[in-house]
């Protein structure tokens, strides 16, 4: 599906479109932007005429974005948020900006996100970071406890705005002491049955997904070691405790140094998409838009 060209579109209409997209209604967008509802309606009709596409399906209560709207929002959200951050209100002299409350998986935040945000912190950004599982963090986001959440699954429903952030690839790994003894074939993972399995949780969420995707079968065994932090799983496996399935971002350096070995490199490795999630509408804190735009831009290099 071809996304409409942005060459001749009105910037104010695009801002209004994004407010409607995030709030889920013309009324909500009007409230966010300080406009009348008829003005929002007129702008959206004009934008639909210019693009030649229907952007929203009118519902009894609110609107639902069409696939064209999803594509358009993905293209303009980061640039408009960045522009809003640059043009946003400057705190009075002598005051400090409110901190941005960011939450997500501990491993991804500590390994990837916080190092990426270091330049913004050096420029004065204040952060309050929380870690945890996606579902509880999204509930806390809805309740207003966080500004942004990095989620491992797309939120259900329309109460939150989510955009894809990055894909993590899963890798079957072990220390060299085990790799030297094993020859893992994609058709037959039986050689691993005698090797201890180190994993994140008793239900083996990452390993089970890898088995289904790569080997085409169900993983029917229990874990030998469970550690509720993938960095702990990595440490145990690198020390020779056994094998595991880990996201590549976490084990990239040990793989490059030889401290870990990829037991298999399938052509179609399983991946999981992470999402950057926030409540609809613009935050009163301009640094929220700044962090969001920065992360979406930085994620292209992860």
Query: Among 12-16, 104-108, 218-222, which range has the highest average pLDDT?
Result: 104-108
Residue 234: per-residue pLDDT? 98
As a whole number, mean pLDDT of residues 250-276 equals 95
pLDDT digits (tens, 9 = 90+) for 65-117: 898 988 898 888 878 877 776 665 545 545 567 899 999 999 999 999 999 99
Spatial contact of 169 and 302, defined as CB atoms under 8 Å apart: no
Q: Where are the beta strands (DSSP E) in the chain?
A: 56-58, 63-65, 100-104, 127-131, 148-151, 161-174, 198-199, 225-226, 243-247, 261-262, 271-278
- Binning pLDDT at 50, 70 and 90, where does residue 282 land? low
pLDDT digits (tens, 9 = 90+) for 120-178: 999 889 999 999 999 999 999 988 899 999 999 999 877 788 999 999 999 999 999 99
Mean per-residue pLDDT over the chain, rounded: 88
Give the span between the Cα atoms of 95 and 209, in whole angstroms.
49
Q: Helix and strand tally (H, E) in the chain?
A: 12, 11
Residue 112: per-residue pLDDT? 96
- Taking 70 as the threshold, does the pLDDT of residue 7 lie above it? no
Residue 263: per-residue pLDDT? 93
Task: Please tell me which residue, 211 or 160, carries the higher pLDDT value.
Answer: 211
C-alpha 196: how far from chain center: 31
Residue 100: per-residue pLDDT? 95
As a whole number, mean pLDDT of residues 244-249 equals 97
Tokens of 286: 């301009």
Residue 170: per-residue pLDDT? 97
Task: Please tell me which residue, 291 or 28, carries the higher pLDDT value.
Answer: 291
Residue 191: per-residue pLDDT? 86
Q: Residue 194 class from Cβ within 10 Å (0-12 exposed, 13-18 middle, 19+ buried)? A: exposed
């Amino acid at each position: 599906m071809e996304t409409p060209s942005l060459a001749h579109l009105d910037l104010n209409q695009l801002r209004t479109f994004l407010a409607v997209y995030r709030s889920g209604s013309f009324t909500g967008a009007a409230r966010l932007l300080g406009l009348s509802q008829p003005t929002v309606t007129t702008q959206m009709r004009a934008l639909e005429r210019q693009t030649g596409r229907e952007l929203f399906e009118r519902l009894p209560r609110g609107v639902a974005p069409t696939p064209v709207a999803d594509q358009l929002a993905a293209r303009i959200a980061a640039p408009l948020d960045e522009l809003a951050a640059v043009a946003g209100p400057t705190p009075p002299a002598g005051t400090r900006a409110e901190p941005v409350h960011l939450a997500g998986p501990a491993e991804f935040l500590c390994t990837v996100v916080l190092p990426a945000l270091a330049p913004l912190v050096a420029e004065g950004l204040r952060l309050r970071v929380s870690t945890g599982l996606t579902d509880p963090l999204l509930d806390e986001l809805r309740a207003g406890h966080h500004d942004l959440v990095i989620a491992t699954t797309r939120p259900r429903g329309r109460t939150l705005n989510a955009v894809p952030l990055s894909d993590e690839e899963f890798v079957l790994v072990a220390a060299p002491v085990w790799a030297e003894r094993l020859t893992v074939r994609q058709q037959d993972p039986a050689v691993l049955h005698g090797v201890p399995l180190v994993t994140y949780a008793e239900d083996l969420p990452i390993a089970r997904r890898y088995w289904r995707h790569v080997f085409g079968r169900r993983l029917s065994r229990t874990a030998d070691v469970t550690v509720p932090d993938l960095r702990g799983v990595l440490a145990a496996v690198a020390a020779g405790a056994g094998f595991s399935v880990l996201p590549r971002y976490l084990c990239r350096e040990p793989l490059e140094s030889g401290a870990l070995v990829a037991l298999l490199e399938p052509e179609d490795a399983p991946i999981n998409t992470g999402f950057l999630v926030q409540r609809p509408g613009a935050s009163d804190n301009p640094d929220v838009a700044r962090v969001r735009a920065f992360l979406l831009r930085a994620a292209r290099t992860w």
